[in-house]
């Protein structure tokens, strides 16, 4: 999938990549408004206690934790984060992700695509 279809939620303090968002239908139209779906997203950082920048994602998406690839084929990956909870606050129009370390010894990782 081209990088245009991946968005990453990154901690605003320690720059750890927290959530990998796969945009699978960027042109999905909201039938109520006739416009594309636009989501504002934010995640907590389990490494430093801060949170990510608010990031906008357009279309249908699937969120996941972030994994570090050990080879170019992405066959051997070590998870860095996992998603514990996803919440939508209508008043703030914000999707929030509760993120956990994949294991107690997980280290913060930075997305190599940045």
Residue at 27 is within a domain? yes
Residue at 114 is within a domain? no
Q: Which domain holds residue 77?
A: 3-101
Number of domains in the chain: 1
Residue at 76 is within a domain? yes
Indicate the average pLDDT of the chain. Answer: 85
Residue at 44 is within a domain? yes
2-30 as b/e, with b when 16 or more CB fall inside 10 Å? eeeeebbbbbeeeebbbbbbebeeeeeee
Q: pLDDT digits over 68-104, tens only? A: 766 565 555 567 899 999 999 999 999 999 999 987 7
pTM exceeds 0.75 = yes
Residue at 8 is within a domain? yes
Residue at 106 is within a domain? no
Residue at 52 is within a domain? yes
Residue at 111 is within a domain? no
3-state secondary structure of 79: strand
């Amino acid at each position: 999938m081209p990088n245009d279809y991946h968005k990453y939620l990154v901690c605003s303090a320690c720059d750890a990549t927290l959530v990998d968002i796969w945009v699978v239908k960027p042109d999905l139209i909201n039938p109520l408004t006739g416009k594309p779906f636009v989501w504002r997203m934010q995640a907590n950082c389990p490494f430093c206690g801060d949170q990510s920048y608010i990031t906008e994602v357009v279309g249908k998406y699937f969120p996941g934790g972030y994994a570090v690839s050990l080879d170019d084929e992405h066959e051997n990956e070590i998870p860095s984060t996992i998603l514990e909870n996803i919440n939508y606050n209508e008043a703030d129009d914000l999707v929030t992700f509760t993120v956990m370390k994949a294991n107690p010894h997980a280290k913060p990782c930075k997305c190599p695509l940045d």
